[in-house]
Structure 1
């Protein structure tokens, strides 16, 4: 009889022990979530600053294009005047030599504007080539690289980065992450944002409340891998999640959902660094 009475007591002890473990895990997750929430607020500030920088650069390119159009119109006007002068040169109303000098000067300035604009355009090619120089054809299937107005976007599929249904980094992602880490180290003064994205299918994993949590935890996993495994300075890194709210494809199809389940590594140069890169863009081969 004593043995039978001890069974409920043992069960109670087991339940209490399990409750303690669950509470500890919850507290750990809450601490992690609070840190990620703080990182997300920092990310928003950096994102707004990047947008302002991009706006400045866009205005600069637009101004160059306007100057180029104006100079071309001026050159045409001078050429028309020269033609008229040649037809009426016997009347001595126009100084032909002066017109020729003005046309040559205008053409020279037009060429300078074209060269400046070409350097701006070639920056995208410079950065893209640097980012893809060591990726194999197989890796490029899971890695999409774009350069938009000086900001580098590296998009990695979740199949390549994470274990299935998890935010843990998979073993097969190591080689690709090491190459991307090298590129990040090459641009060692740039800010690096790791941004997680999901499809719109609700997550059912234990201890992950929703897709916001999943996307942010995945971004945090990549940040910690870059810091701990590849020695990227953590001061340059920001982890953030956008959940299902930044789709690039239709979530109603499986192919679209696959595209939306991605992690973006965004390398953002500051304005002065962007202009420095323009100056380093390679000349066209003759």
Structure 2
């Protein structure tokens, strides 16, 4: 323990005697802004996809309503057609009986008969046109229903895979239960939260042996799930950083801690670095109040957020539209 304290002191002394150039600092700020923007875009994309699914559900209901209306109109036309045909048959019977009457009465009856025939022909055409429209609506509804079913199936399968991923992580990290580590599934994502007491010393971004074991276990699970996007967020409490040296403030410290976790995960060569993103959130995303020491301890944490890639679902949504 004494050797570790001396090493930490020597490291702090070395850092306090070095300077970070303005360019490096500016680059770090720009990278952080880019990461923050990307994080917002991912959240917006998830919200947009949920909104598009709801809109598709509404379109499906509207098509069903149109189909029901078309069926009712078709049935009415069929009833009108039957009534008109019955009336025509009656007129034909009357026409036969009236053949012996005067030519004027006969002409009137023929004229009326022709009018009824014209009405019957018009209703037949209207009924055929309505049937065509009904067939088209039925086909469109069937196609959209199939695509919505496919979309819902993929979303359900994706949700099931995230639940399975959460269970796998919980099992892999079971030995760290009660040590400031939790695994949670919510909003279609899996969150692995590690309090700093498991990972870092005060003001440090060097991961301790016990914390490194936990991160290595997470990396093993990520290696078996290459289609997962991984966001590593560093969080601090609201106490201003006062260590000096290579760290300027809580923003800088939270970013360095997130990057330290990324570097450990990257040691597993089966994990694709393109899936990894590091971000510092400083003190601005607490999970509880900073009024107590316990609250501050919970807020000082690393969150590993696992998100399924949405490319396939987005493509299916575009195909439906």
Whether TM exceeds 0.5 here: the answer is yes
Which has the larger displacement, 229-238 or 189-198? 229-238
Output aligned runs, 1:1-286, within 5 Å.
Answer: 24-28=14-18, 30=20, 36-37=28-29, 39-47=31-39, 49-50=41-42, 53-54=45-46, 57-58=49-50, 60-81=52-73, 84=76, 90-91=82-83, 94=127, 98=131, 105=139, 108-109=142-143, 111-119=145-153, 121-122=155-156, 123-136=158-171, 142-146=181-185, 148=187, 152=189, 154-159=191-196, 161-165=198-202, 166-188=204-226, 192-203=230-241, 205=243, 207=245, 208-228=247-267, 232-234=271-273, 236-252=275-291, 256-267=295-306, 272=311, 275=314
Shift of 1:244: 0.5
The root-mean-square deviation of aligned C-alpha atoms, in Å, is 4.3
Q: 1:167·1:221 contact (CA, 8 Å) conserved in 2?
A: yes
Aligned counterparts of 2:219 and 2:274: Cα–Cα separation in 1: 15
Are the structure 2 counterparts of residues 63 and 22 from structure 1 closer, same or farther at C-alpha, using a change threshold of 3 Å?
A: closer
- Residues 193-247 of structure 1: CA distance to partner in whole angstroms, max 9, x if unpaired? 3210122234455645532233122112201211236664545533321100122
Q: 2:232·2:261 contact (CA, 8 Å) conserved in 1?
A: yes
Q: 1:202·1:210 contact (CA, 8 Å) conserved in 2?
A: yes
Give the alignment's TM-score, normalised by structure 2. Answer: 0.59
Are the structure 2 counterparts of residues 199 and 189 from structure 1 closer, same or farther at C-alpha, using a change threshold of 3 Å?
A: same
Q: 1:250·1:256 contact (CA, 8 Å) conserved in 2?
A: yes
Which has the larger displacement, 204-213 or 81-90? 81-90
Give the alignment's TM-score, normalised by structure 1. Answer: 0.65
Q: Secondary structure at the match of 1:247?
A: coil
User: How many residues align structurally?
Assistant: 257
Are the structure 2 counterparts of residues 77 and 45 from structure 1 closer, same or farther at C-alpha, using a change threshold of 3 Å?
A: same
Q: Which has the larger radius of gyration?
A: 2
Q: 2:16·2:244 contact (CA, 8 Å) conserved in 1?
A: no
Aligned counterparts of 2:270 and 2:263: Cα–Cα separation in 1: 10
In structure 2, list runs of 5 or more residues that go unmatched: 1-9, 85-122
Residue of structure 1 in register with 2:7 after alignment: none
